[in-house]
Amino acid sequence: PAEAPASIPAEAPGTFRIHATDGAARTGVLHTAHGPVRTPIFMPVGTVGSVKAVAPDDLDAIGAEIILGNTYHLYLRPGDELVARRGGLHGFNAWKKPILTDSGGFQVFSLSALRKITEQGVEFRSHLDGSKHLFTPEKVVSIQRNLNSDIMMVLDECVSYGADKPYTEKSLALTTRWAQRCRDAYPGGTAGNLLFGITQGGFFKDLRERSIGELTQIDFDGFALGGLSVGESKPEMMDILYHCAPLLPADKPRYLMGVGTPLDIINGIAAGVDMFDCVLPTRNARNGTLYTSLGKINIKRKEFAEDDGPLDPACNCYACRTFSRAYLRHLYVAKELLAFRLNSVHNLTYFLDVVRGARAAIAEGRFAAYKAGFEAIYPEEVV
Ligand code: PRF
Ligand code: ZN
């Protein structure tokens, strides 16, 4: 058996079929209004409606199946109603495959000033012009419907690392009430915008269990683990990840938000997670940090000045097929814009190869060996 075939017959949005399992790891297909997504999947981040430095034809060549957009950014600029008038985000940015949008709550907490959380929602000031706004659960669903997102996320509060138990407990209860209001604002239907719930609970296992228990009472199309990779140590993250992922419904897609390194993703898959997103491959590409089959390198180093070999001999991306390390180093050192594109194309290809390889390994019952291979490449990260 192999991973799901290249051509997958269309099914109703929200249909999630698991084709094979290996331990807790699973491989399958999630169907959306803009086509299928093979899982486990890595989703390149296109915060403002563009995956930085790469165009949709690059993304197609890389093999991206779904990208992220962000409610907070697109609402502030250019505005979700402007996007709606251009046929939603797909009509606006010309990416025709699935798009998942984060709800904006997380960005409000990380970017905007003067945020105030009440029962009603979260009040904040724009990081662009200081203007005042209110995100309610109903509002973020309405924005994501205007964007015509394939997978919408509920409004949640991502509790900061170090929050105490009483605060985390109150916060997760609010997150549950907001999740229910998001569901009530859009009971679902024929338009095909899926809605995922987000579980929270900080670093308290009993609160994590409570959040999962409450959220899974609501009829969502998938469930996310939020509030991880927020400054905790690797062992703390892995402890919560391996404890919580199996508690999420087995028949719905599971999404680990904002995670992570290649080894984090491999651990997520081992724990039973199906979807991942992170700015790491694109952000690192822009500062010269590149992932290869032999580990991470920084292309600016002098040792690559006359290295005529490919960036990664095991990679089949446009950058690796076409250019030498010496040329890629030159572009980077000369601050040429092409460096951003080529480095991003490569790093995204690497992350998509990680999940593509995982799908094949799960289908063939050799995921443990596949995981061990990554532990050998990234020994400093093994916990
Ligand atoms: N909530 C939302 N988006 C997120 C997170 C979260 O907890 C995280 C945590 N790593 C990343 N992105 N809505
Ligand atoms: Zn490459």
Name the residue at shortest CA distance from atom 6 of ligand 1: 226
CA of 311 to the centre of ligand 2 (A): 6
- The ligand with the least distance to the CA atom of 292 is 2
Q: Is 106 in the pocket of ligand 1 (CB under 6 A)?
A: yes
For residue 3, what pLDDT is reported?
62
Name the residue at shortest CA distance from atom 13 of ligand 1: 106
Q: Which atom of ligand 1 is nearest to the CA of 156?
A: 13
The amino acid sitting at 36 is: P
Q: Is 264 in the pocket of ligand 1 (CB under 6 A)?
A: no
Expressed in angstroms, the distance from the first to the final Cα of the chain is 32
Name the residue at shortest CA distance from atom 9 of ligand 1: 227
Instruction: List the catalytic residues.
Output: 102, 277
Mean pLDDT by 10 residues, the chain (383 residues): 71 97 98 98 96 98 97 97 98 98 91 87 93 97 98 96 97 98 89 95 98 98 97 97 98 98 98 98 98 97 98 98 98 98 98 98 98 95 74
Q: Is 258 in the pocket of ligand 1 (CB under 6 A)?
A: yes
CB-CB contact of 278 with 246 (8 Å):
no
Name the residue at shortest CA distance from atom 3 of ligand 1: 106
Among 254, 237, 223, residue whose Cα is nearest residue 40: 254
CB-CB contact of 150 with 143 (8 Å):
no
What is the DSSP track for 173-189? Answer: HHHHHHHHHHHHH----
For residue 191, what pLDDT is reported?
74
Q: Which atom of ligand 1 is nearest to the CA of 103?
A: 13
Instruction: Please state the pTM of the whole predicted model.
Output: 0.97
Q: Which two tokens stand for residue 347?
A: 């790093």
Q: Is 102 in the pocket of ligand 1 (CB under 6 A)?
A: yes
Mutation to probe ligand 1, out of 71, 100, 102, 178 (largest number of atoms < 8 A from CB): 102
Backbone angles phi, psi at 20, to 5 degrees: -160, 155
Q: 142-158 in b/e burial notation, b at 16+ Cβ within 10 A?
A: bbbbbbbbbbbbbbbbb
For residue 190, what pLDDT is reported?
66
- The ligand with the least distance to the CA atom of 320 is 2
Among 98, 192, 48, 80, residue whose Cα is nearest residue 147: 80
CB-CB contact of 324 with 310 (8 Å):
yes
Mutation to probe ligand 1, out of 107, 143, 158 (largest number of atoms < 8 A from CB): 158
For residue 317, what pLDDT is reported?
98
Q: Which atom of ligand 1 is nearest to the CA of 229?
A: 10
Residue 268: its H or E element: helix 262-271
Which residues, at least 6 apart from 369, have a Cβ–Cβ distance to it below 8 Å? 361
Q: Which atom of ligand 1 is nearest to the CA of 259?
A: 10
Residue 45 is given by DSSP the state: B
Measure the CA–CA gap between 277 and 43, rounded to whole angstroms.
Answer: 5
* Look-up of token digits 């290869």: 292
- The ligand with the least distance to the CA atom of 198 is 1
Q: Which atom of ligand 1 is nearest to the CA of 155?
A: 13
For residue 1, what pLDDT is reported?
43
- The ligand with the least distance to the CA atom of 318 is 2
The amino acid sitting at 162 is: G
ipTM of the complex: 0.99
Q: Is 228 in the pocket of ligand 1 (CB under 6 A)?
A: yes
CA of 366 to the centre of ligand 1 (A): 31
CA of 354 to the centre of ligand 2 (A): 12
For residue 381, what pLDDT is reported?
83
CA of 346 to the centre of ligand 2 (A): 4
Q: Is 268 in the pocket of ligand 1 (CB under 6 A)?
A: no
Among 5, 8, 59, 61, residue whose Cα is nearest residue 31: 8
Q: Is 65 in the pocket of ligand 1 (CB under 6 A)?
A: no
For residue 114, what pLDDT is reported?
75
The amino acid sitting at 181 is: R
